[in-house]
Amino acid sequence: KQEVTQIPAALSVPEGENLVLNCSFTDSAIYNLQWFRQDPGKGLTSLLLIQSSQREQTSGRLNASLDKSSGRSTLYIAASQPGDSATYLCAVRTGNSGYALNFGKGTSLLVTP
Amino acid sequence: EAGVVQSPRYKIIEKKQPVAFWCNPISGHNTLYWYRQNLGQGPELLIRYENEEAVDDSQLPKDRFSAERLKGVDSTLKIQPAELGDSAVYLCASSLSPAASEQFFGPGTRLTVL
């Protein structure tokens, strides 16, 4: 069974810092990897989708990388802002999960002014 | 373009009562998913539909949970009877196809069972 781990579980940084969130998975036979943002009491907002053939994706201040062979992905947030405060979830899709997403527990990010 | 719509947003019931959640996916999305998210955890799949067919329901507790997707568009997830441990956020998601597509999530229904 695919296991997804996110480190750290929580992170607090001052505004303006660059930061990296880590995600690891046990089964490298994935179709894709998706990063989500979840605000308190809200649903999930898709940030970036990386297909298994890709190495990275960028959107604004966000950059996600994928190293499928080592089972790792990172989400890089540049010049963090208080509005970035949320929980960030990593999820992978593998064929043996019936194409469902396997999620990590998330990293809770707090960006202080 | 409208996103995934879910209702109600919040529901509080007493144990042993029935409850139902409704989801309208993004137009044209053939694949629909129901996930359950417990506090402090990532979402976990309950059931996946391809059009009107439930193709993966291995994680659905079938003794009390049921789901349907009539006409391959809207879907309803039902719990009867509800138990205290069913308190969670129930998320609906949709995608164009099962394998390579991005999944889009609705706002969820927060269920509290007293």
Q: What is the DSSP string of B74-110?
A: -EEEEESS--GGG-EEEEEEEESSSSSSPPEE---EE
Percent of chain A past pLDDT 70, that is, above it, reads 96
Q: Are A45 and A51 in contact (CB under 8 A)?
A: no
Looking at chain B, which residue has its C-alpha nearest residue A32? B100
Nearest to B56 among A32, A98, A103 (CB): A98
User: Is B39:A99 a contact under the CB 8 Å cutoff?
Assistant: no
Would you state the structure tokens that stand for residue B82, as one six-digit string? 């509800």
According to the model, what pLDDT value does residue B70 have? 84
Confidence (pLDDT) at B112: 97
Residue B48 and residue A98: Cβ atoms within 8 Å?
A: yes
The answer to whether residue B25 neighbours chain A at the CB level (below 8 Å) is: no
CB–CB contacts below 8 A, A to B: 61
pLDDT at B101: 77
Are A22 and A6 in contact, with CB atoms under 8 Å apart? yes
Q: Tell me which chain B residues have a C-beta less than 8 angstroms from the C-beta of A25.
A: none
Q: Is the pLDDT of residue B84 over 80?
A: yes
Q: Are B43 and A31 a contacting pair at CB < 8 A? A: no
Across the interface, whether the CB atoms of B100 and A31 are under 8 A apart is answered yes
Helix%, strand%, coil% for chain B, nearest 5: 5, 50, 45
Interchain contact, B110 vs A43, CB within 8 Å: no
- If one counts every other C-beta atom within 10 angstroms of the C-beta of residue A70, the result is 10
CA A51 to centroid of chain Cα atoms: 14
pLDDT of residue B55: 87
Sign of the four-CA dihedral B33, A105, A107, A65: negative
Of A76, A105, A109, the residue nearest A91 (C-alpha): A105
A34-89 pLDDT, tens digit each: 999 999 888 899 999 999 999 999 999 999 999 999 999 999 999 999 999 999 99
Touching check for B108 and chain A: CB below 8 Å?
yes
